[in-house]
Chain A
Amino acid sequence: MRFSDEFETRFAEMLTHYPTKRSALVPTLLYAQDEAGSLTDEVIAELAGRLDLTELEVRNVISYYSMLTTKPRGKYNVQVCTNIACMLRGGEEILDHCKKKLGISHKGTTQDGLFSLEEVECIGACSWAPAAQVNYDFHENLTNAKMDQILDEYKKKGTQ
């Protein structure tokens, strides 16, 4: 299992921040997932070994956090918020539009592996609703037309 040098540097440094190794687990899982695409058996075994945990202990933590996944997602994970502030300003319509445009439903992935879609809970963009995140990038004050443009741009970037 190889992670990037950046990952290794950060991981080594993080271990010095806490009195217990285990404390580095949650952020480390997210960084590992960013590199591997998902938390595969191999990633779980590797991190469990490094942090003196059992694989079961690591899986137990993974299943709690909504951003962590053991299944691969698309290259671009489109996360549309439909919580109250977004709902009032058309978040559900944005989600429906994405479903139609991408031809997938909640937690689905397109056949080319480019996009996956998720209906998510509040992402902290309430004053700029409706909003979505594509991977970690925020897109706010959305309309269907704006969402089209955003998805087209990612598609172009992803197929280049």
Chain B
Amino acid sequence: MADLVSHPDEVRVISKRFGQGATDIERYLQLDGYQAVQKALAMQPDAIINEVKNSGLRGRGGAGFSTGMKWSFVPKQSAKPKYVLCNGDESEPGTCKDRLIFEHDPHSVIEGVMIAALAVGSHTGYIYIRGEYRYLSVIMQKAIKDAYAKGFLGKNIFGSGYDLDIYWHGGAGAYEVGEESALMESLEGKRGIPRIRPPFPAVVGLWGGPTVINNAETLAAVPHIILGGADWYAKLGTPKNGGTRMFCLAGHLNKPGVYELPMGYNLKKMIYEVGGGIPNGRSLKAVVPGGSSTPVLLPEEIDIPMDFDSVAKAGSMLGSGGVVVLDDTTCIVKFALRTIKFYQHESCGWCIPCREGTDWLKKTLTRFHAGAGLKKDVDNIYYLAENMLGKTFCPLGDAAAMPTMAFVKKFRKEFEDHLDGKPCPFEKAGAVEPVMA
């Protein structure tokens, strides 16, 4: 069970039931549970979609696409069944927020799936949870069972005449499956190889039917929007970036943890005040602002609001909410190597730029970090990454390329310090000891 933290600047929407026993359906009901779906049942589907559109809710998985807009792409009439799929395959390094939502408030995800289903006219939803999160699958399976026992799921929900089934589904270890089309392949019992798009899942998804795919945090926000109203939710954040965000503070910080802060909260403040600053009197070297795939930011680049548009303007991405902080003892070459090792391991191998690119990057960076790098390798690393960008079936290739290019661009000198047989300057100094705050 992961520890909970708190900070006075937090605005608790998604996390308001954390630590309050809301896995128990009775307790969830006491805490306004299943009110939103009943309200949604009395609304027209278009009204639900408009409410979510107006709330400024954008995909919390990382892409930041408007949730209401995504729902509106699902055709009204469909010969094939429509589906709602909750993406709980949380695996972007630096990210551990969906885990807390499943652990403390599983019914909010179920309720979010229900409202999404009503909005798009679907009668079947799936909640996909990564295989490593077994204890959360146990919690979710029980939550679903309890919802059925109350008559909230199944035939004629809340006496409305609407039938709705929601099922749990589990993974077995694969980052790639977090990509929406690979997620559907996995749910269909196959290798998680991405599908070529278009057609997009909203038109041709699970078993060929129109499918809405949203991240668990996104769906958990939906009941709050329906109850509190789009205006209230939108005003919590910044223009076009409604609501709050579960930020996972990790790395070299005094008070790492998952904090729910308004969209647009200042990154510098997040690190120095919420996260308690850098331990052991060390200074900040860099920040990975939104999970391992997002380009690194330098200390002088972090006085920015953490919303999708502002972080994009700063040359990076808000991504999945994983804020990883690096102090001045961190070797960037080593960090870049560990990052690329991950993407090389997780590349499904389906398309060549990603399969070959991540492998060559790993080989080059390994050689480089061992001190056998040549001057031309620095440009080669950048060139390899650049040639993956935008050339792969799914965003995994981009996820590997973007951070690598930023590491080389912003820390070229540090790469050059590793050249021609020189040992890693950070290991030589003995500075890469573990930091235990």
Contact = CB atoms under 8 A, between A and B. Distances in A.
In this complex, the interface size class of chain A, counting residues with CB under 8 Å from chain B, is 35 or more
B189 A64 contact: no
Contact of B188 (A23, A83, A85): A23
B170 interface: yes
A51 interface: yes
B241 to A, nearest CB: 22
B172 A26 contact: yes
B95 A84 contact: no
A89 B433 CA distance: 8
Interface string B424-437: 00000000011111
A138 interface: yes
A90 B434 contact: yes
A98 interface: no
B229 to A, nearest CB: 31
A65 B292 contact: no
Contacts of A25: 189-190
Contacts of B326: 88
B174 to A, nearest CB: 5
B207 A20 contact: yes
B250 A82 contact: no
Given A85-B93, A127-B258, A129-B250, A67 B132 contact: yes
B269 interface: no
A138 B100 CA distance: 13
Interface residues of B, number: 64
Contacts of B437: 89
Given A22-B189, A27-B169, A140-B2, A124 B256 contact: no
B324 A65 contact: no
Contacts of A27: 131, 169-172
A114 interface: no
Contact of B2 (A60, A90, A122, A127): A127
A152 to B, nearest CB: 20
B383 interface: no
9 contacts: A19-B207, A26-B189, A27-B170, A64-B191, A121-B342, A121-B346, A125-B2, A128-B96, A140-B3
Interface of A: 17, 19-20, 22-27, 29-30, 51, 60-61, 64-68, 82-85, 87-90, 93, 121-130, 133, 136-138, 140-141, 143
Interface of B: 1-3, 81, 90-96, 98-99, 126, 130-135, 165, 167, 169-175, 186-192, 207, 248-252, 256-258, 288, 292, 322, 324-326, 330, 335, 338-339, 342, 345-346, 348, 433-437
